[in-house]
Structure 1
Amino acid sequence: MAQSPRTRTVLTLFTARDSVQCHRVRLVLAAKGVSYERVAVDEGKPPEDLTDLNASGTVPTLVDRDLVLYDTAVICEYLDERYPHPPLMPVDPLSRARLRLAMVRIEQEWLPLVATIHAGGRPADTARKRLREALVASVPLFKASKFFLNPEMSLADCLIAPLVWRLPALGVDLAREGKPIVDYGERIFRNPGFARSLTPEEKLLRE
């Protein structure tokens, strides 16, 4: 999947080596079976190729010919529409809206806790507790269907699965209360597409 960063294919993804949001995009691409050029970006060291395209140098940044996208949710929705098979959102508007609201909530409430844990120090302990409580409180949503609020894998799963993959490395133990979430994660982790979405650094998070 990964190619030389100097040989531009139709799709190029500038991605961090370990990031929930970057992993989210890579999982969408893997689910779609789309070939792309993966350019690994080290934190705080954006390559000139990236800053020429996106002045802020943020990742993920997706390049599709003359189109440059650097908002994660926009990238994922674009890929789902650009490569419609398999679809990663339900057909009916109500289900789509429910999943979109869930993703907004996770981005606004859960991912900042992940960032706080990564930052370390005393606030990290509080963030671990809050993240665990938020996940356990959401167990009924994980039990409602085979995937998150949906019988088929969706863009919401592409956001949630990378987070669940990181829970052991984050020091978040869901214990028996969170078993439905652990089981949910294992169903997705067994998919070959999930394995393809991982960077070498992310594979080590579970070793």
Structure 2
Amino acid sequence: MALSTRSRTILTLYSARDCVHCHRVRLILAAKGVSYELILVDPARPPEDLIDLNPTHSLPTLVDRDLVLYETTVVAEYLDERYPHPPLMPIDPLSRARLRLAIVRMERDWLPLVEQCAGSGKNSEAARKRLRDALLSALPLFKAAKFFLNPELSLADCALVPLIWRLPSLGVSLPREAHAITDYGERIFRNPGFTRSLTSDEKLLRD
């Protein structure tokens, strides 16, 4: 499935400049071809309007008319249902459940390591090793289909690809035998929609 170029109703997305969770939502919006207003926020200094809208001040925060949503999974599933074409989850319940479990695993075990990998020291180095080992343990899943556990782009890919994009900047290198992971990422990175999902700060992560 190609990332769409269609335009829809304008939404407002409050996003950090470099955030794996915010990037996930921006990638979904690119896949859906949805037009939106992007407001880049310093998480340490949230603007007054975000404070008024979201009691947790968390990012990403999505505003659709009178509806305010936060928590990344809630926002992701809302966008897939609000804009059903192209669908980012399979039709059959078994495949949907399998992808949902994969996303839970990413959210619980993989994505928290992104922040832990930043910086230097023993803790960061240990986090890099855990992330590298986790990806290598999942190598057969990257070989099972064109996208992650699915023949077409899904919400699981939108959660995973921002992580893969950040690996070099996190200091996580994969061995040659992990080419299936590298190839998976490059297939999506080449799509113009993926480029549209990046902030200027995120584009520099691979320069």
> TM class by shorter-chain length?
over 0.9
Match of 1:114 in 2: 114
* 1:54-203 alignment, distance < 5 Å: 54-118=54-118, 120-203=120-203
Q: Distance in 1 between matches of 2:10 and 2:23?
A: 20
Which sections of structure 1, spanning at least 5 residues, go unmatched? 1-8
Q: Distance in 2 between matches of 1:144 and 1:200?
A: 33
Match of 2:18 in 1: 18
Q: Distance in 1 between matches of 2:97 and 2:127?
A: 28
Q: Which amino acid aligns with 1:178?
A: A
Secondary structure of 1:87 counterpart: coil
CA-to-aligned-CA distance 1:140-174 (integer Å, 9 cap, x gap)? 00000000000000000001110000000000001
% same residue: 70
Q: Distance in 1 between matches of 2:88 and 2:10?
A: 21
Q: Distance in 2 between matches of 1:111 and 1:28?
A: 17
Q: CA deviation at 1:119?
A: 5.1
Q: Distance in 1 between matches of 2:182 and 2:34?
A: 28
What is the CA RMSD across the aligned residues, in angstroms?
A: 1.0
Are the counterparts in 2 of residues 142 and 184 from structure 1 also a CA contact under 8 Å? yes
Q: CA deviation at 1:113?
A: 1.3
Match of 2:36 in 1: 36
CA-to-aligned-CA distance 1:17-59 (integer Å, 9 cap, x gap)? 0010000000000000000000000130100110010022110
Q: Distance in 1 between matches of 2:27 and 2:141?
A: 21
Are the counterparts in 1 of residues 43 and 59 from structure 2 also a CA contact under 8 Å? no
Are the counterparts in 2 of residues 10 and 65 from structure 1 also a CA contact under 8 Å? no
Q: TM-score, normalised by structure 1?
A: 0.94
Q: CA deviation at 1:121?
A: 2.6
Match of 1:3 in 2: none
**Greater alpha carbon shift after TM alignment, 176-185 vs 24-33:** 176-185
Secondary structure of 2:131 counterpart: helix
The number of equivalent residue pairs is 199
Secondary structure of 1:62 counterpart: strand
Match of 1:6 in 2: none
Q: CA deviation at 1:14?
A: 0.2
Q: Distance in 1 between matches of 2:98 and 2:120?
A: 33
Secondary structure of 2:118 counterpart: helix
Q: Which amino acid aligns with 1:164?
A: I
Are the counterparts in 2 of residues 117 and 170 from structure 1 also a CA contact under 8 Å? yes
Match of 2:5 in 1: none
Q: Distance in 2 between matches of 1:161 and 1:102?
A: 13
Which runs of at least 4 in structure 1 moved beyond 3 Å after TM superposition? none
Secondary structure of 1:17 counterpart: coil
Q: Distance in 1 between matches of 2:108 and 2:177?
A: 24
Q: Which amino acid aligns with 1:183?
A: D
Q: Which amino acid aligns with 2:85?
A: H
Are the counterparts in 2 of residues 11 and 64 from structure 1 also a CA contact under 8 Å? yes
Q: Distance in 2 between matches of 1:134 and 1:177?
A: 15
